[in-house]
Structure 1
Amino acid sequence: MTTPTTSAIDPALDLFEFSQPYTSDGWLKSDWPAGQSSILQWSPDNVRLMADGSVALVLGRAPEGSNYSVQSGEVQSAETATTGTWSWTVQAPEMVSGAVFGLFTYKADWANQPWVEFDFEFVGGDTTRVQLNIHMENAAGEHVTLDNDGRNLVVVDLGFDASKEAHTYEVTVTEEKAVFYIDGKIVGEFTGADMPGGIWNIGPMKSYINLWAVQPAQEIWAGVWTDPGEPLVARIMGAEVRAGEYGSIYEANPEAPVAMPTEPADPDPMEEVAEDGTITTFSERSYVLADHVTNLILTGSASVDGTGNTLNNRLTGNAGNNLLDGGLGTDTMEGGAGDDTYIVDNGDDRVIETANGGTDTVHASVSFVLPDHVENLLLSGSANLNGTGNALNNGLTGNPGNNRLDGGTGTDVLDGGDGNDTLLGGEDNDWLIGGLGKDLLTGSMGADHFVFLSTADSGPTAAARDVMTDFSRSQGDKIDFSFIDGNLRLSGDQAFQFVGTAKFSGTAGELRYEYSKNVTLIHADTNGDGAADFSIELSKKTALFMDDFVL
């Protein structure tokens, strides 16, 4: 792959940088640390004009001496709209595990406006599928998403490889609904009825395009980022914000060559009846078992899905990335090669994977223990469930209920989500994210990271604050506040200033600790009123120093 170079020609986007003049049609090149990933910074150098007028976003290693390991490009529109259509014509990069290519709207006033966002996201190494998502805030200021329960993740099978040529992605947003289009075809339509609590709160939004690499806490979603050696390059052929205009205006290029099939269409599914009367269906395409059929075997290598019925089914995947959902009954699901996803709704459902069989994920609406060779578990629904890992490096994600997550051995990422959760890291170096609610966090062995994503994760009162049971400086544990803006009085994202045991001085961004009886309390003041905006409890008296924190 050749790293793109700049050239002067009519650009697909009218690019500008901070302090430069711009028009309402301009696109700002981001130039700051990426808020969604602690390993990455945005740089204008990674947004490049190509000889054909397209704009390239380049994801690669950060320059020597940088505080970050990865550097990439992001652009955002100067124009905003509350309702209308946002459009992007792009060619996705040749993606790898741990990479994300995003086309999305986002709140225009990032510091003060409630969260509102509509996403197309290419995640990990598969550019034949794209994820759709919606982010909003409810009346209590809580972040809610379209896939809140872990089972409603919307993944669109494109029918093409988005890295091979440009396609047009559009989202129309109104006061009542959002419609997602790809090349003029509707691929998703959502209203408040699809959001947790019936939420539909919108506001002014800009358009964004970015390409980035995940940090360890996000690996359950996108896979593990490993430097591929050569940069990843996304191409932007055009993007616009059509305020007050609704629906797709996509028109196919009449001069584009018509793709001819290079192989025959998938054959119709076939059935086989065993001597005992058991019926097995073989299919090269996504398939839902008929009521009388027990088994499904997916053939070929395409990324297709298999769905069971009310019987005790056996579903077997192929070499692609499969989604297997047994439905009702006690089901056995075996994905084979590829990055497979399993839907588990019965405590006796069985998931089978083999070594080197891809990176696999279980979505479970019941308590579940990950079997061997399965990496990730997402608890769905709202019941109080338990999730347990295995010897691999697992990602365990809770639901809105009160969950108990136990990583076991391996370097695990535990994310409790909402609810009053209990997180047990187990052996090795784990990442513990309590999320909302009053959480109990135990890292156990290894150098563990206790990560807090917002001030709402741990309230200032005893009834609301999280408790860390075994913070150990000698083991290399860290308390990570890097996702939280320490000073709300300034624009941007400021780090906290650690002041030890000194009292708050009325300066926003101060972080202090104190002893209370036999415990240690950590307090942070983000607005400068001299009172704690969030607090954390360590279950024993512990002297703390600045290098105990990631700020």
Structure 2
Amino acid sequence: MFAVAATLHPAHAQETQPELKSAPSFVDNFANFNQSRWFVSDGWTNGAHQNCTWSKDLVRLSDGVLSLSFEKRKLKDREFACAEIQTKQRYGYGVYEARMKTGAGSGLNAAFFSYIGPQDKQPWDEIDFEVLTKDPSKVQVNSYIQGKPKNAKLVEVAGGADKGFNDYGFVWEKDRLRWYVNGKLVHEVTNPDELPTHSQKIFFSLWGSDKLTNWMGAFVDPGSKVTMQVKRVAFTALGQPCQFPESLACSISNSN
């Protein structure tokens, strides 16, 4: 165990999509922890809504699986500790994918998402998959434009997000944003006012709240460590070939 601080039209996309700065395509199967790619959040919270402090000790890698955990442990001014990683580089239009499994528990949020905001001197744009683990039979998809939520929708995860590994992916284009669960299209947005326009970092996080009860449920101390696991994450830029056989970029690039 290693502890660590529907159609893409590739050619058309290359011709008509405006420049949106992006780091190169990649696949990370977590054979090791790429410290040049990932930054581990440690020693702070994202605000008063969060009842835990980010801890690098709760990010671990073992046998090709990245684990992010939540546990009862006083850290700074919070009674719980939690985990988050984020890419150091920013990514633009393309296919974003993760294969992951969550824990369960009311008041927790297990998320795979892209985000940019004031911390990087940019407007707040975001694209989300969030498993509100009070009910891991569903995942919430959403996006934020200029800090305002635009497309929240709860969709079913067959078998449950906590019962096995599932594939989550979104395809972000200039004029369209689509979310997929296990290869199935579950949500699509084409309204230009509801589409992000700024390159973003990729995040995984597991955190809790005793304040956002209407959304995440009443917080219940899980009594033991809760973990989300990630086997793979990938970004494939528009117009680039798919990078692994199960990728959305393979299955939808030639569809109608």
What TM-score do you get using the length of structure 2 for normalisation?
Answer: 0.78
Helix, strand or coil for the counterpart of 1:125? Answer: coil
Structure 2 CA distance for aligned equivalents of residues 81 and 188 of structure 1: 21
Number of the residue aligned with 1:120 = 129
Q: Does residue 71 of the first structure (1) align with residue 90 of the second (2)?
A: no
1:184 and 1:248 in contact (8 A); partners too? no
Displaced runs of 4+ in structure 1, greater than 6 A? 246-250
1:125-524 mapped onto 2 (5 Å cutoff):
125-137=134-146, 143-147=147-151, 153-192=152-191, 198-216=193-211, 218-245=212-239, 251=245
Structure 1 CA distance for aligned equivalents of residues 76 and 132 of structure 2: 26
Helix, strand or coil for the counterpart of 2:76? Answer: coil
When residues 201 and 240 of structure 1 are mapped into structure 2, their CA distance, relative to the original with a 3 A threshold, is closer
Structure 2 CA distance for aligned equivalents of residues 169 and 126 of structure 1: 17
Which of 37, 40, 43 lines up with 1:29 in the alignment?
40
When residues 113 and 252 of structure 1 are mapped into structure 2, their CA distance, relative to the original with a 3 A threshold, is closer
Which of 22, 30, 39 lines up with 1:11 in the alignment?
30
- What 5-or-longer segments of structure 1 have no aligned partner? 17-21, 138-142, 148-152, 254-551
1:75 and 1:210 in contact (8 A); partners too? yes
When residues 185 and 247 of structure 1 are mapped into structure 2, their CA distance, relative to the original with a 3 A threshold, is farther
Q: 1:326-373, CA deviations, whole angstroms, 9 ceiling, x for partnerless residues?
A: xxxxxxxxxxxxxxxxxxxxxxxxxxxxxxxxxxxxxxxxxxxxxxxx
Q: Percent identity?
A: 23
How far off its partner does 1:34 sit? 2.2
How far off its partner does 1:237 sit? 0.3
Structure 2 CA distance for aligned equivalents of residues 224 and 248 of structure 1: 41
How far off its partner does 1:14 sit? 2.7
| Matched residue type, 1:161 | G
1:98 and 1:225 in contact (8 A); partners too? yes
Number of the residue aligned with 1:449 = none
Larger radius of gyration: 1
Structure 2 CA distance for aligned equivalents of residues 237 and 27 of structure 1: 15
Number of the residue aligned with 1:98 = 107
- What 5-or-longer segments of structure 2 have no aligned partner? 5-28, 248-256
2:177 and 2:195 in contact (8 A); partners too? no
Aligned residues: 222
- RMSD over equivalenced CA pairs, Å: 2.6
Helix, strand or coil for the counterpart of 1:221? Answer: helix
Number of the residue aligned with 1:406 = none
Q: 1:190-222, CA deviations, whole angstroms, 9 ceiling, x for partnerless residues?
A: 1226xxxx3434101011000000131x11100
Q: Does residue 41 of the first structure (1) align with residue 57 of the second (2)?
A: no
1:80 and 1:205 in contact (8 A); partners too? yes
Q: 1:444-474, CA deviations, whole angstroms, 9 ceiling, x for partnerless residues?
A: xxxxxxxxxxxxxxxxxxxxxxxxxxxxxxx
| Matched residue type, 1:205 | Q
Structure 2 CA distance for aligned equivalents of residues 209 and 38 of structure 1: 16
2:101 and 2:164 in contact (8 A); partners too? yes
How far off its partner does 1:54 sit? 0.6
How far off its partner does 1:111 sit? 3.7
Structure 2 CA distance for aligned equivalents of residues 208 and 87 of structure 1: 11
How far off its partner does 1:250 sit? 7.2
Structure (1 or 2) with the greater helix fraction: 2
Helix, strand or coil for the counterpart of 2:78? Answer: coil
